[in-house]
């Protein structure tokens, strides 16, 4: 029988998987993987400022993640290549966050937990925050799904359909900030982008519609979090990296299976 902390960890993993999967599909479709990575790196600065100002960690991370994402959106096209801008801001935010943590007096901080996650330490309050964030992200995705999809496929078509691509970008930005905040406890700042991208990329070869890809990605993400949690508990390995490693294994199997099926189809 699993202990209570394992049940809490499993529920946390399921919540993060459900939240990250549909958003990860848009990250893959828009080819903005580095954008997610930059927002995740900024989470450490959010943690440091939250501790310095004695506010909720969740509020600090969401605020800084939103600030990072909006800043990148505003500065893009101002003379800097997007990848350069993201690289500068992501690593600067991470470095400043790590320096800021050293100024937090009287608080013992486990940086390893924030960088790589500590899902086994999830408490009841964390669980409420994670599932509240997951439900909010899922609700946003369902509400704006068609508009987001149209803006992702073709901006001109979006304008013709009276859809504002910048507004949809803001919706994605808000959803991304929330996912980063809720996933921080599960996989950590350095691995959040992997949990966004890998399940979506794994689902892509087996999906005929965007909706199908989102559902398959959600199943893969939940399987990776719960399976990785169990494997980490059994083999005494770091939980966050184990979850991402299992997701990567699913991706390799998916890629090999897809290529094998394509070769079989061509020969027959």
**What are the boundaries of each domain within the chain?**
4-190
Would you place residue 220 in the very low, low, confident or very high pLDDT band (cuts 50, 70, 90)? very high
State the pTM of this model.
Answer: 0.89
| Half-sphere exposure (Cβ direction) of 164: Cα atoms closer than 13 Å | 4
pLDDT value at position 108? Answer: 66
249 pLDDT higher than 90: yes
- Whether residue 2 is predicted with pLDDT greater than 60 in this model: the reply is no
Top-tier CATH class for 4-190: mainly alpha
If you average pLDDT over residues 133-137, what whole number do you get?
Answer: 94
Q: Which residues contact 117 (CB under 8 A, 6 or more apart)?
A: 183, 184, 185, 186, 187, 188, 191, 239, 240, 243
Q: How confident is the model over 62-88, as pLDDT tens digits?
A: 898 888 877 776 776 566 666 777 778
Q: What pLDDT does residue 202 have? A: 96
191 contact partners, CB below 8 Å, separation of at least 6: 116, 117, 240, 241, 243, 244
> pLDDT at position 170, please?
85
Cα–chain center distance at 197: 8
């Amino acid at each position: 029988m699993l202990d209570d902390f394992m049940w809490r960890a499993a529920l946390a993993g399921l919540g993060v998987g459900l939240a990250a999967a549909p958003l990860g599909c848009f990250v893959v479709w828009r080819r903005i993987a580095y954008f997610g990575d930059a927002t995740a790196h900024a989470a450490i600065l959010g943690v440091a400022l939250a501790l310095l100002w004695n506010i909720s960690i969740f509020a600090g991370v969401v605020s800084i993640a939103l600030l990072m994402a909006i800043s990148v959106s505003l500065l893009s096209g101002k003379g800097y290549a997007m990848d350069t801008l993201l690289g500068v801001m992501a690593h600067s935010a991470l470095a400043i966050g790590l320096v800021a943590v050293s100024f937090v007096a009287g608080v013992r901080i486990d940086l390893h937990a924030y960088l790589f996650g500590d899902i086994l330490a999830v408490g009841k309050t964390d669980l409420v925050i994670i599932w509240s964030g997951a439900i909010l992200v899922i609700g946003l995705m369902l509400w704006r799904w068609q508009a987001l999809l149209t803006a992702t496929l073709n901006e001109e078509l979006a304008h013709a359909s009276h859809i504002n691509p910048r507004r949809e970008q803001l919706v994605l930005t808000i959803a991304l900030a929330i996912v980063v905040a809720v996933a921080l406890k599960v996989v950590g700042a350095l691995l959040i982008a992997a949990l966004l991208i890998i399940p979506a990329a794994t689902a892509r070869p087996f999906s005929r519609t965007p909706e199908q890809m989102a559902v398959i990605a959600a199943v893969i993400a939940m399987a990776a979090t719960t399976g990785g949690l169990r494997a980490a508990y059994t083999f005494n390995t770091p939980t966050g990296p184990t979850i991402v490693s299992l997701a990567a294994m699913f991706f390799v199997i998916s890629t090999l299976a897809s290529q094998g099926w394509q070769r079989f189809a061509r020969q027959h």
